[in-house]
Structure 1
Amino acid sequence: MADRTSSAITIDAGKSEVMAVIADLEAYPEWASGIREITVRERAEDGRAARAALTFDGGPFSDTVGLAYTWEDDDRVTWELVEAGSVVTGLHGSYGLDERDGTTEVTYELAVDVRVPLIGMVKRKAEKRIIDSALKGLKRRVES
């Protein structure tokens, strides 16, 4: 899973405010299109999710996967697939936050592998669509 797709957006808020929205996994269905449900299964000592089950509806594919999260204060969160679904066989993602003058640049990286063979270009286009939608939803949520 060496190839990743990434994109960034600037949000008019500090990084602690942005990370608070990112860390509230159960609220994702309210602002992240395609995510139907997230259930936190285990929390770290700081109260943030350590493991969660994610159910998504991504157009032709719907699936439920298990993810493990690693939090680096309010600077970065990464997630890795720990329980494959019926479609998704690999997944690595991250949000990186960089605060500048009261705004925060959020960079989202994503790499997904699925059971169905896809041409690299088609896979990257799907990842880009997921990323752009998530970043726009995050911006709307934080700035509202």
Structure 2
Amino acid sequence: MATSDSREVVIEATPEEILDVIADVEATPDWSPQYQKAVILESYPDGRPKQVEMTVKAAGLTDVMVIEYTWSDDGVTWTLVKSGQLKAQDAGYTLTPEGAATKVRFDMKIDLSIPMPGFLLKRTLKGGMETATDGLRKQVLKVKKGS
């Protein structure tokens, strides 16, 4: 059975600055504790990642998955290509400029291929949603400050 969630955060940065941080997938383990490793398998002509192999650890399970990104000016989405623990995963960020900041909406839908107690799935998904929004915000501000 598929489970989905969404969360919003406002980040004091432009959509382009935010997308640049998301596109730096190899740095994702630095700000997202669930991600152990990310390797770009294929890139688009503009250099943004197309297919990425990620090692993810959540709820005591480690999974190696391949995801494929689709980029636009106002966001990015990705879909699962293969995984050992998931039947499906569709996720993405939608970015809406708000003055000097950007409203960031993160949506994710997953379908596990293994049984997991509902409370554990909800807790794991909540942690992932917090990292995908608050963790992204912290990383964007850190990168902005350093540049």
Q: Distance in 1 between matches of 2:112 and 2:43?
A: 27
Structure 1 position 15 matched with structure 2 position 15 = yes
Mapping for residues 30-109 of structure 1, pairs under 5 Å = 30-73=30-73, 75-85=74-84, 87-109=85-107
Pair 1:2–1:61, CA change in 2 (3 A):
closer
Q: Distance in 1 between matches of 2:91 and 2:4?
A: 9
- How many angstroms does 1:113 deviate by? 1.6
Which aligned runs of 4 or more in structure 1 are off by greater than 4 angstroms? 119-122
- How many angstroms does 1:2 deviate by? 6.2
Moved more, 17-26 or 120-129: 120-129
Q: Distance in 2 between matches of 1:89 and 1:2?
A: 9
* TM-score using structure 1 length: 0.90
- How many angstroms does 1:93 deviate by? 0.6
Does the 8 Å contact 1:6/1:128 carry over to 2? Answer: no
Structure 1 position 140 matched with structure 2 position 138 = yes
- Structure 2: segments with no counterpart, 5+ residues: 143-147
Q: Identical aligned pairs, as a percentage?
A: 30
- How many angstroms does 1:116 deviate by? 2.0
Size of the aligned set, in residue pairs, is 142
Q: Distance in 2 between matches of 1:125 and 1:91?
A: 17
Q: Distance in 2 between matches of 1:109 and 1:23?
A: 17
Residues 15-53 of structure 1, C-alpha deviations (whole Å, 9 max, x = no match): 111111011111101111210111010001111111010
Q: Distance in 2 between matches of 1:127 and 1:99?
A: 26
Q: Distance in 2 between matches of 1:137 and 1:95?
A: 13
Q: Which amino acid aligns with 1:32?
A: S
Does the 8 Å contact 1:33/1:137 carry over to 2? Answer: no
Report the counterpart of residue 128 of structure 1 in structure 2: 126
Secondary structure in 1 matching 2:139: helix
- How many angstroms does 1:90 deviate by? 1.3
- How many angstroms does 1:57 deviate by? 1.2
Report the counterpart of residue 5 of structure 2 in structure 1: 5
Secondary structure in 1 matching 2:129: helix
- Structure 1: segments with no counterpart, 5+ residues: none
Structure 1 position 113 matched with structure 2 position 122 = no
